[in-house]
Amino acid sequence: MSTLYDFTVKDQEGKDVSLKDYEGKVVLVINSATECGFTPHYQWLQEIYQDLHEKGLEILDFPCNQFANQTPGDDAEIHQFCTGRFGVTFPQFSKVDVNGENAIPLWQWLTTETTFQGFHGAAKLLLTPVVKKMDPNYKNNGKIKWNFTKFLIGKNGEIVQRFEPTADAKEVRAGIEALL
């Protein structure tokens, strides 16, 4: 069985980064976008990171342009936006595909080993028709449905929990704190 530590990804300069570097940490892996209604998640993710990084939390950000082309910039532009607008200090990686034949192995693993958790709240009304049009079988597979899907990884490198974009900050934070 694979763990987070079995994967290598590209940083913003295109250099290989072994995720084994995060061994023993609680890790939150996200797919992000800079022009999405969920982009303000960066603010509360940064707050959680500031509060819990010293206790062993890492947040790994993977920008993705697969959902309504909401991440149009290159890696440098994305990083500048995130640091300038939201003060992001957690690691950001090269823009990737999270679904389909070009999805990087990390995201293939994340989506194969988890299932869709359902949308919640008012955003459910907006997202469900869009996602259903893209994937009529969306409820029955682990594909990423939208920007800011989050995966909580335990200190052993195994997936503990998946949070859809509609999960709120308190729910995500509680999951992280339970593992720290």
Q: Which helix (H) or strand (E) holds 150?
A: strand 150-153
Considering the candidates 6, 17, 35, 36, report the single residue annotated as catalytic.
36
Q: Is 64 a catalytic residue?
A: no
Dist CA 38 CA 123 (whole Å): 10
Sheet with 26-32, strands from edge to edge, namely 57-63, 26-32, 150-153, 159-163
Dist CA 18 CA 31 (whole Å): 18
Active-site residue list: 36
